[in-house]
Structure 1
């Protein structure tokens, strides 16, 4: 049964790392598309929106990288590929460290998503725009309460 769980964790971790690569590729595409819009249409084509959306994609990719590499480091500590990862921001020795790192990346991703929605709105704002910033505030407060 332990072997089945190990295989399941490996599939999950590898799938997250593949998702990371796919989303990074799509973010690069959106970045170049934003520069293409800038060169063809200028500022009226809203190239900044494309570039901010690519930033949002890169942050989502970062969440997948953290989860994929974190799972592999936690459940396969003997693998030299993941044992040799010495990134200071990816120092994960237990599940709580992984959870806190993902939580912070998730909050940052939500803030960038909110910024993207504000840029896309071009004009009047509705009350529904407050959902994301209020949820970020509540998530941040709950994270602070859980730490203390």
Structure 2
């Protein structure tokens, strides 16, 4: 894929959250977005709609690291590096909180023939000093019209 070529994609995003002593909670949604490749990294951009808020989300990833950036009613920067604890932040109208992530597993499987693929991320999240749970993010994208 040439650098900075923007391709419309269909996204299926599944998040599984497991908190201590609780059953896993799974959230799944579909979205339309764009796919770009820059400097060997994949960028997927889409908008999340949650109740009355719209959040522009960018997921940047490669083989060993990833980053989720959200802008809009909520601002967030959450970095992920295999084998390392990373610091990020979450900011809302109520203030800013530090986030810490520890990646347990990360996989990226691009299609060899089309602009599609799968990204899998399993991590532990700490917000402030509180363990928020273990998370799994599964993202599938396929080339499609917007």
Q: Normalization by structure 1: what TM-score?
A: 0.21
Looking at secondary structure, tell me which structure has more helix per residue.
1
Q: Normalization by structure 2: what TM-score?
A: 0.21
Looking at secondary structure, tell me which structure has more strand per residue.
2
